[in-house]
Amino acid sequence: MAILRPGGADSTSGDDYDPFAPVEGDVIRLMAKEDVDCPLWHAGLLFSDAEEFIEFGAPPELARDLAAWAADRQANGRHVASDIEAAKLVERLSEAFDHRYRFVFRP
């Protein structure tokens, strides 16, 4: 899994450095995929599950809501309500990370 660099583009040393991780301003896609609990993508899947996302610093409620959205998409496919929820999640993600990344929904 890629690890987002909380220090931004200048954080290029240490155990958490990942040259494929997004840096401030990069696009992170919310994109459902079968068997993915935390469907946030950059160069690849960013987190293996909601717990890993919480460990990174995501608000627990947001991480749980993201996992619930992913589970709904896996169980019921794409529908209007899931797209509306995705738009809300994108906004919440942006706010939770102080708009450092550009979160977008890709159906």
Residue 3 lies in a domain: no
pLDDT in tens, 41-87: 998 999 999 999 999 889 999 999 999 999 999 999 999 999 999 99
Confidence at residue 23, expressed as pLDDT on a 0 to 100 scale: 77
Residue 2 lies in a domain: no
The pTM is what? 0.80
Residue 82 lies in a domain: yes
Residue 32 lies in a domain: yes
Residue 1 lies in a domain: no
**Whole-Å CA distances, 25 to 40, 51, 74, 84:** 15, 24, 29, 24
Residue 69 lies in a domain: yes
pLDDT in tens, 75-91: 999 999 999 999 999 99
> CA–CA separation, 30 vs 11, rounded Å?
24
What is the tally of structural domains in the chain?
1
Beta strands 27-30 and 40-41, pairing class: antiparallel
| Owning domain of residue 62 | 8-105
